[in-house]
Amino acid sequence: MTVTAPPPLTPVQPPPLRLSGAQLGLIASNFLMWGGFFAVIPLITVHFAGSPESGGLGWAAASVGLVLGLRQLTQQGLTVLGGAWADRVGPKPLILAGCVLRSLGFGWMAFSTTLPVLLAAALLAGIGGGLFDAPKNAAITAVTRPEHRTQIFSLTSISGNLGMVTGPLIGAALLALGFQVAALASACVYLLAAAVMAVTLPHVRPPKRPRGSGMAGLRAAAANAPFRRFTLVLIGYFLLSTQINVAITLKAIALAGPHATGPLYAVSAGLAVALQYPLLRLAERYLRVRTVLTLAVGAVGVALGLMALADSFGALLLCVGLYSLGTMLVYPTQQTLTARFAPAEQVGSYFGFSAISLGVGGALGSVLGGWLVDTGTRIGMPALPWLLLAATGMVTAWGLRWALRDLAPAPR
């Protein structure tokens, strides 16, 4: 009797991505949020700390730094709780409430003439951001199939980068009409984002209501040892990603003057808009998500190390290009892995807990970046900050490989 061998098994291909109304709404609202944010935040320093001769109020730079720092700390601190609340009430109410509160905060800034009032407005804007940040990621997870989440997170990131490019241009144009006009326009953009979410995003809830208090999901995330390792190791990456605003900007200004920041951010955000999605699709075709993340963080570290050799603005921009190739792959892969760690009923809590890495790493990066540059200059070793940042990147990449060693491959 002749036995016929069975045909070879072929891998099952996931269905192609077709964007739903909810996904399109999330992508569009993310563009509006980032655009509205960057239309007004850079102008706060220009308006309040600028000289009276140029139309500014002449406040001390430290006062404006206090305002911006309060907003950042408030948002990052509340993001942890915002994710936990999303597990109980669903992400949509929190996203809508956050957009409205941020709109009120930016609108209040338009009429702020004293530091206490501006601090209160910044606090309100930070609370709004803390309410919609983690729930927005939870909403993306809820309305997207697991095999498509990396692509959707990438498209969302691209829309944010588009907002980061266009926001400052629009804000600068509106500043000619006065800071009040720019701030009120930004406030209206957040109301528009809320309207988009109200129409397109369904009121999704966890498949089963989590037991215990609203902190139960956060406690579960903290007790998940592999996820806790993943979150803590990522502090190293966010320390590096902050340097685009600190050490890299300082070097760009030293090489090409104060107007160098425009081309610097244009290269960083422009590359992300043009290359993030196709590069991510190419990488995930051949590599696991965790491998893509590890290699991306390593590329960021190498780029920072090469900046020690950049003796011209053009050479620095080439290094920024490599730096951007790494950072553009980190966000979607990190978010995808966070969603994979999380039980379906605790997705918001896991995204909230993951914000700890951004909050701590961003704060450390803001402080250490400038301090390392000053120290390197003072002791006659200008390469010092770049070598230490490169070493941090290599250690972080190795740490991610260790932290994700037991993570099962994504189902196909």
CATH number at residue 331: 1.20.1250.20
Residues 263 and 389 in one domain: yes
Within a domain: residue 14? no
Within a domain: residue 13? no
For residues 406 and 250, give the distance between their C-alpha atoms in angstroms, rounded to a whole number: 40
Please identify, among 159, 175, 205, the residue that sits at the C-terminal boundary of a domain.
205
Residues 277 and 226 in one domain: yes
Within a domain: residue 36? yes
Structure tokens at 252: 């760009």
Within a domain: residue 345? yes
Residues 89 and 44 in one domain: yes
- What is the chain's pLDDT, residue by residue, as a tens digit (412 residues)? 444 444 444 444 566 778 888 999 999 999 999 999 888 877 777 677 766 776 677 777 567 767 777 787 788 778 878 877 888 888 999 999 999 999 999 999 999 888 899 999 989 998 999 898 888 988 998 888 888 888 888 888 888 888 877 887 788 788 788 889 989 999 999 999 999 999 999 987 766 555 555 577 778 888 899 999 999 999 999 999 888 877 887 888 788 876 776 688 778 878 887 888 888 888 888 888 889 999 999 999 999 999 999 999 999 999 999 999 999 899 889 988 988 888 877 887 888 888 888 878 877 887 788 788 888 888 989 899 999 999 999 999 999 999 998 776 555 4
Its domain, for residue 326, covers 218-412
Residues 121 and 267 in one domain: no
Q: Phi then psi for 20, rounded to 5 degrees? A: -85, 170
Taking the CA atoms of the chain, what radius of gyration do you get in angstroms?
22
Please identify, among 149, 182, 205, the residue that sits at the C-terminal boundary of a domain.
205
Structural domains counted in the chain:
2
Residues 188 and 235 in one domain: no
Residues 287 and 186 in one domain: no
Torsion of CA 65, 69, 70, 71, to 10 degrees: 110
Q: Report in angstroms the alpha-carbon separations of 339 from 128, 137, 354, 359.
A: 23, 9, 10, 19
Within a domain: residue 9? no
Residues 122 and 269 in one domain: no
Residues 196 and 253 in one domain: no
Cβ neighbors of 114 (< 8 A, separation 6 or more) are none
Structure tokens at 268: 């960083």
| Tens-digit pLDDT profile for residues 122-157 | 899 989 998 988 889 889 988 888 888 888 888 888
Residues 304 and 396 in one domain: yes
Residues 378 and 251 in one domain: yes
pLDDT of residue 207: 62
Please give the span between the terminal C-alpha atoms of the chain, in angstroms, as a whole number: 37
Within a domain: residue 15? no
Please identify, among 205, 240, 266, the residue that sits at the C-terminal boundary of a domain.
205
For residues 381 and 375, give the distance between their C-alpha atoms in angstroms, rounded to a whole number: 8
